[in-house]
Chain A
Amino acid sequence: MDKEGEIIVKDFISILEELTFNSRPIITTLTKIAEENIPYAQHFADALEARIDRCPPKQKLYALYALDSICKNAGSPYTIYFSRNLFNLYKKTYLLVDNATRTKMIHLFKTWMDSGDSLAGAPLLFERSALEKIEQFLIKASALHQKNLQSMLPTPTVPLLSREIDKLTALTTERLKNQPMDEKLKMKLVVLTQLKEELHREKLAPGALKQLQLQLRQIFAQDQQVLQDIQRQQQHEMAMLQQKQQHQQQLQNENQSVPSKNASFIPLFGDSSASSGISGLFGSSMNTVGPNLTGLDKNYQLSKIQNLYDSLQAEGLLYNPPKESIVSLYSKLGGHNHLSSGAMDYQQGVNLPPLPLLQGILSDCKAHFATVNIDILNTPNLQLSQQTIQDDNPVVGSSLIHLLYRAKPNKCNICGKRFGNSIGEKKSQADHLDWHFRINKRIKGSEMTANASGSVTGTTQKNIQSRNWYLQDSQWISFKEEESVSTTFSLSTDGTAHKVTTANLEDQTQYSSTAAADKGDQETAKFTIDESILLKKHVIVPESAVDMSFQCPICKENVTGLYDEELGEWVWKNAMEVNNKYFHATCYYEAARNNDNPLGLQLDLEKLKHLVSE
């Protein structure tokens, strides 16, 4: 393979690795690359097979979709390459994925079979032998699945079966209403009634009961299917649609609680069309079933919501909760095992996390998906002009706005600042919280000493502070905001690199009428360095120190020890020792400079300079 080829194949593989969700753009890109670079088809096929084989089960389907797209668009030679290993690949994948994905895989497989049938005489997408093997495998697998299902059915009892017969009766009555002339249905009703009577009269063997149960389930499923088909047909007709809405309204009047809960919950998933479909479907059957069969209604409703839930999960729109999550916590608390009923039971006082919290989580998810592929630079209609500012811009309203809020789902509890989920953002959030913690500790310290009304015996590090002088223009111009907003700077150096103190003030002679500007600059530089060196001066706390603190004889402030991790010692920062006395380095320096000697102390500037230069 030449160099260019290597690059293309590498590209292909790296794009493939991004296929961690069902993304049409990625699949399209992959297809295009495959189509345009037929010479490397073998490499692409190998890469794709490896991907399907190795990627996490959840992502396998998307890789399969990519395979499907490439074969359907580019055709040969991909179809030939893939046919070789298709059965093994399909089987292995099928066995690893969950049920919802399996259904998707079966759908996919069907399209492969159909592509031959629909165009009479046209060849199948893949080699017939491979497809037949898959078909055989699927038949076996689903039979096995059926068996599992049977074993999961509850042990049949007379009341249980009689309830199932009731449901079936209700369903049949419903169908009969639509097709009043259907003799078969009438017969069925009669048989069902008889069956129920039989059931109550005689004691049947458990085996027979089981058999009966299976049969009932099968009929039930068929009837349900038929009913759904009818409903779906109806939905296509406008007139029926209106009627449906009326039904819905009636339903709302009759049974206020059910639809309102539906409405408040389902739209959170951002799938309102599905929810209206459900209540429509459910609504019309409910009217006819009547109040006696609420059990059936509930089953119906739950199964519909379950379906919605399953399909959302299949689309990757739902987050599967880990062990320690609210949802699993809730199921442990004895609720139903799916989210939808949880929201309904909330009102009944089950001990659930508050609804706003759950809503918040769902809104976060929604915001994430609304912004996942957003790039402001490539978003149209953001050119600044009267028109774009004035008009409703759907991109701003539905996607971009989330960038300001929930796209960063982690909100600081102390200041409201938001952080995202990337590793970098997590790190800055941790730093940010550490910073709050440190700052709060210092602020608390200041409150304690303030309450002690003047006494300075407290050992907490104090936060007595004052406004700083403003910077000179030249300092401000070169000021880096990092100095004030960094959360990782050590406390003692917070913004001090640029601090104007009264100590170095006198030396900033740039604006004095006597000193030349050049000299002024020089001195400013020199003394700024002095200042920062002074602040770095420290004394290791001597063993003899009481309370680990000393009082600066000049400013009378108590200095407490801080632990210096680098030295592994407790130190007094900004401190120096002169003739067995301890001073703030900056105080000493200031006092020495001003020859201000209120304490009769021997203040020796030369000595200070010597100390500093050590």
Chain B
Amino acid sequence: MKTLWLTTYTFNWSRGSVHWLAMESLPGINDLNQPLTGVGGDDEYHRLSILQGSEWNIEISSETRLTIRVISGIAEIFGTELAIGKEYNFRNYKFGVYAVEDVELEWRCPELTGETLSISPNSTAKLVYNLHFALEKMRSSSFDGPRVMIVGETNSGRTTLSRTLCSYGIKFKSYQPMYVNLDPQQAIFSPPGCVTAIPISDILDVQCSTWGQSMTSGATALHSKQPVVKNYGLERLSENKQLYLDVVEQLATSVNGRLMNDSLVRRSGLVIDIPAISELDEDNNDLEYFAKQFKVNVAVLVGISDNQKIDAIAKKLVPLVGNHIVNLPRISGSVKPEDAFKRSLQRGAIREYFYGTPDTVLSPYAVGVGFEDVTVYRPKNVLEDTQEVPTQLLPVQVNPSNLQHALVAISYADRKAAPEVIQKAPILGFALITEVNDKRNKLRILLPVPGALPNKSMILTSYRYLE
């Protein structure tokens, strides 16, 4: 392969970062709409050095693709080390490549040329290492490992920190820390709208915003993970806080059951990633609730600058965690979740659930059923459903306006089951209603698993996906 060197750069040794002075693209070959076979001048490998302790922060839209290949040195993404010489592909993603040691890499991406690459020293890596080894000490000194709750504002790096701690946790000893995602807006090992828990038993996929694959029926390039998934179905917590807390309790019951059963996971502990504090109640009762449900013994606050808020949180949590409460600044390289980006990640996660990734292509299965073959409920939305209803789930009429392109959760509960039973039942998986034909009373439903439509109740989520 021919490599064209288009870039000039100088090192600024004193500051430990790289400044790009000039990056000229070749004229005339900058057309994204060219056929795939024509590798344009801009789609060539460029070389980049990142000095130890610095981080290259990258934003890649869904329109383009970035390929990174590490030549030498130790580079990691959210705590997961990159292999040397392997091509990693990224699409629609914001992330940072952190240089643990001086890194030489090659990258190519038509979109990135002509812009300034953002490389800056990572000021919080040291804190994360300190935190990790403190947790590691807890793991080695007790059968009950650290149960860490990460509390922070949006854009403070809660998930970045969680992911890094999980990745570090599996590196030295074969620990399996369990990641608990309580933020239904982010989709990790599942479509959005859920709360999940996953023992991280092997390396994560750095290319995936969903961290990797949940179980499939065939071979995956990395070991797939086995999550437990609880469907909330709505978008914002305020839409039905009661239901949300209920779902969290169900998840906690499963997680605690697993911890009782699995001494390795128990020793490795939990990393609990909760919604941004602005989504939670003012009095921090939600924090206390999470901490109690999961028997949290370490609280990590990130990026909270308001001292009053810190004191208020500490007051709630200190009785539960003692002096195991630390306050970190905003994590370097954390991703700013703008709404559009968050939507695109959610979309990507739904696609990935059914169709997999370029590395792991999945074959979902479409079935045609009659209107009478499905029973659909939806979670009550307190902002809209003002009338008094005794249950959290309300029946949904099968028609295009309700169900077209909707993501539905399939419950383990029977179609005839009462709403209370359905609400407590585990989730079998998700299905996508791709077509609702009013005239013929027919539905087309995309199932992740080949076979007939399970004879189970469905719960409508707030998410719509148009293929």
Question: Which residues of A does B touch, CB under 8 Å?
Answer: 354, 356-357, 359-360, 363, 376-377, 379, 382-386, 388-393, 396-397, 400-401, 403-408, 411-418, 438-440, 442-443, 446, 450, 463-473, 476-481, 484-485, 491, 494-495, 498-503, 505-506, 508-514, 555, 590, 594
Can you give 26 contacting A-B residue pairs, CB < 8 Å?
A356-B73, A376-B140, A377-B140, A382-B136, A384-B135, A397-B126, A401-B129, A404-B171, A405-B101, A415-B221, A416-B81, A417-B81, A417-B202, A442-B218, A446-B218, A450-B361, A464-B218, A464-B363, A465-B219, A466-B218, A468-B215, A468-B216, A476-B254, A479-B226, A505-B454, A511-B422
Q: In the complex, what residues of A have CB within 8 A of residue B176's CB?
A: 481
Flag if B362 contacts A466 (CB, 8 Å): yes
Flag if B134 contacts A382 (CB, 8 Å): yes
Known: A446-B218, A470-B227. 14 other contacts (CB 8 A): A354-B72, A356-B73, A384-B146, A386-B326, A417-B202, A443-B359, A467-B364, A468-B215, A473-B254, A479-B226, A484-B223, A484-B226, A485-B223, A508-B412
Flag if A511 contacts B85 (CB, 8 Å): no
Known: A360-B72, A403-B172, A476-B258. A466 touches B136 (CB 8 A): no
Q: Closest residue to B225 on the A side, CB-wise? A: A484
* Band of interface residues on B: 35 or more
Flag if A473 contacts B228 (CB, 8 Å): yes
CA distance A363 to B229 in the complex (A): 43
Flag if B449 contacts A416 (CB, 8 Å): no
**A27 smallest CB distance to B (angstroms):** 27
CA distance A555 to B222 in the complex (A): 27
Known: A413-B83, A505-B454. A466 touches B448 (CB 8 A): yes
Q: Closest residue to A486 on the B side, CB-wise? A: B223
Flag if A416 contacts B82 (CB, 8 Å): yes
Choose, from B36-44, B241-249, B398-406, B426-434, the stretch at the interface: B426-434
Flag if B228 contacts A404 (CB, 8 Å): no
Q: Counting CB contacts under 8 A, is B185 at the interface?
A: no
**B10 smallest CB distance to A (angstroms):** 17
Q: Counting CB contacts under 8 A, is B100 at the interface?
A: yes
Flag if A470 contacts B218 (CB, 8 Å): no
CA distance A514 to B74 in the complex (A): 58
CA distance A465 to B213 in the complex (A): 12
Flag if A388 contacts B127 (CB, 8 Å): no
Flag if B219 contacts A477 (CB, 8 Å): no
Q: In the complex, what residues of A have CB within 8 A of residue B417's CB?
A: 511-513
Flag if A417 contacts B428 (CB, 8 Å): no
Flag if B199 contacts A481 (CB, 8 Å): yes
Q: In the complex, what residues of B have CB within 8 A of residue A396's CB?
A: 126, 129-130, 133
Q: Closest residue to B128 on the A side, CB-wise? A: A389
Q: In the complex, what residues of B have CB within 8 A of residue A414's CB?
A: 83, 86
Q: Counting CB contacts under 8 A, is B413 at the interface?
A: yes
Flag if B127 contacts A389 (CB, 8 Å): yes
Q: Counting CB contacts under 8 A, is B323 at the interface?
A: yes
Give the residue of A388, A443, A481, A513 whose beta carbon is less than 8 angstroms from that of B226.
A481
B332-355 vs A, CB cutoff 8 Å, 1 = contact: the mask equals 000000000000000000000110
Give the residue of B85, B217, B224, B429 whose beta carbon is less than 8 angstroms from that of A413.
B85
CA distance A423 to B104 in the complex (A): 32
Q: Counting CB contacts under 8 A, is B418 at the interface?
A: yes
B257-271 vs A, CB cutoff 8 Å, 1 = contact: the mask equals 110111011000000
**A437 smallest CB distance to B (angstroms):** 11
Q: In the complex, what residues of B have CB within 8 A of residue A495's CB?
A: 215, 226
**B121 smallest CB distance to A (angstroms):** 15
Flag if A484 contacts B326 (CB, 8 Å): no
Give the residue of B83, B101, B138, B257 whose beta carbon is less than 8 angstroms from that of A477.
B257
Flag if B428 contacts A505 (CB, 8 Å): yes
CA distance A413 to B70 in the complex (A): 11
CA distance A590 to B451 in the complex (A): 10
Q: In the complex, what residues of B have CB within 8 A of residue A472's CB?
A: 412, 426
**B364 smallest CB distance to A (angstroms):** 6
Within 8 A of A (CB), among B275-328: 298, 323-328
Flag if A412 contacts B413 (CB, 8 Å): no
CA distance A389 to B84 in the complex (A): 31
Flag if A407 contacts B101 (CB, 8 Å): no
Within 8 A of A (CB), among B34-75: 71-74
CA distance A506 to B453 in the complex (A): 11
Known: A376-B136, A389-B134. A469 touches B418 (CB 8 A): no
Q: In the complex, what residues of B have CB within 8 A of residue A386's CB?
A: 325-327
Q: In the complex, what residues of A have CB within 8 A of residue B73's CB?
A: 356
Q: In the complex, what residues of A have CB within 8 A of residue B354's CB?
A: 467
CA distance A17 to B81 in the complex (A): 37
Known: A417-B203, A467-B362, A511-B421. A501 touches B426 (CB 8 A): no
Flag if B228 contacts A393 (CB, 8 Å): no
CA distance A439 to B360 in the complex (A): 11
Give the residue of B84, B129, B411 whose beta carbon is less than 8 angstroms from that of A411.
B84
Flag if A465 contacts B218 (CB, 8 Å): yes
CA distance A389 to B326 in the complex (A): 8
Q: Counting CB contacts under 8 A, is B365 at the interface?
A: yes
Q: In the complex, what residues of A have CB within 8 A of residue B412's CB?
A: 472, 508, 510-511
Flag if A403 contacts B171 (CB, 8 Å): yes
CA distance A488 to B46 in the complex (A): 39
Q: Closest residue to A500 on the B side, CB-wise? A: B428
**A118 smallest CB distance to B (angstroms):** 47
Q: In the complex, what residues of A have CB within 8 A of residue B72's CB?
A: 354, 356-357, 359-360
CA distance A555 to B452 in the complex (A): 13
CA distance A469 to B363 in the complex (A): 14
Which 10 pairs, one residue from A and one from B, show the smallest C-beta to C-beta distance?
A465-B218, A502-B451, A356-B72, A512-B414, A467-B448, A416-B83, A481-B201, A511-B413, A442-B219, A477-B257
Flag if B135 contacts A469 (CB, 8 Å): no
CA distance A379 to B137 in the complex (A): 8
Q: Closest residue to B196 on the A side, CB-wise? A: A470
Known: A416-B81, A446-B361, A481-B199. A473 touches B426 (CB 8 A): yes
Flag if B326 contacts A411 (CB, 8 Å): no
Q: Counting CB contacts under 8 A, is B220 at the interface?
A: yes
**A410 smallest CB distance to B (angstroms):** 12
**B365 smallest CB distance to A (angstroms):** 7
**B68 smallest CB distance to A (angstroms):** 12
**A270 smallest CB distance to B (angstroms):** 15
CA distance A413 to B146 in the complex (A): 32
Q: Counting CB contacts under 8 A, is B114 at the interface?
A: no
Give the residue of B137, B219, B265 whose beta carbon is less than 8 angstroms from that of A376.
B137
CA distance A606 to B86 in the complex (A): 53
Q: Counting CB contacts under 8 A, is B455 at the interface?
A: yes
Q: Counting CB contacts under 8 A, is B168 at the interface?
A: yes
Flag if B429 contacts A416 (CB, 8 Å): no
Flag if B421 contacts A513 (CB, 8 Å): yes
Q: Closest residue to B70 on the A side, CB-wise? A: A416
Known: A413-B85, A481-B201, A502-B454. A466 touches B217 (CB 8 A): yes
Q: Closest residue to A439 on the B side, CB-wise? A: B219
Known: A385-B326, A403-B172. A513 touches B416 (CB 8 A): yes
Flag if A415 contacts B131 (CB, 8 Å): no
Q: In the complex, what residues of B have CB within 8 A of residue A438's CB?
A: 219
Flag if A389 contacts B172 (CB, 8 Å): no
Known: A476-B226, A502-B449, A510-B412. A415 touches B215 (CB 8 A): no
Q: In the complex, what residues of B have CB within 8 A of residue A397's CB?
A: 126, 129
Q: Counting CB contacts under 8 A, is B425 at the interface?
A: yes
Known: A384-B135, A404-B168. A467 touches B215 (CB 8 A): yes
CA distance A94 to B361 in the complex (A): 66
CA distance A306 to B228 in the complex (A): 61
Q: Closest residue to A416 on the B side, CB-wise? A: B83
Q: Counting CB contacts under 8 A, is B214 at the interface?
A: yes
Flag if A393 contacts B130 (CB, 8 Å): yes
Flag if B426 contacts A411 (CB, 8 Å): no
Flag if B414 contacts A389 (CB, 8 Å): no
Q: In the complex, what residues of B have CB within 8 A of residue A485's CB?
A: 201-202, 223
Q: In the complex, what residues of B have CB within 8 A of residue A590's CB?
A: 451
Q: In the complex, what residues of A have CB within 8 A of residue B120's CB?
A: none
Flag if B138 contacts A384 (CB, 8 Å): yes
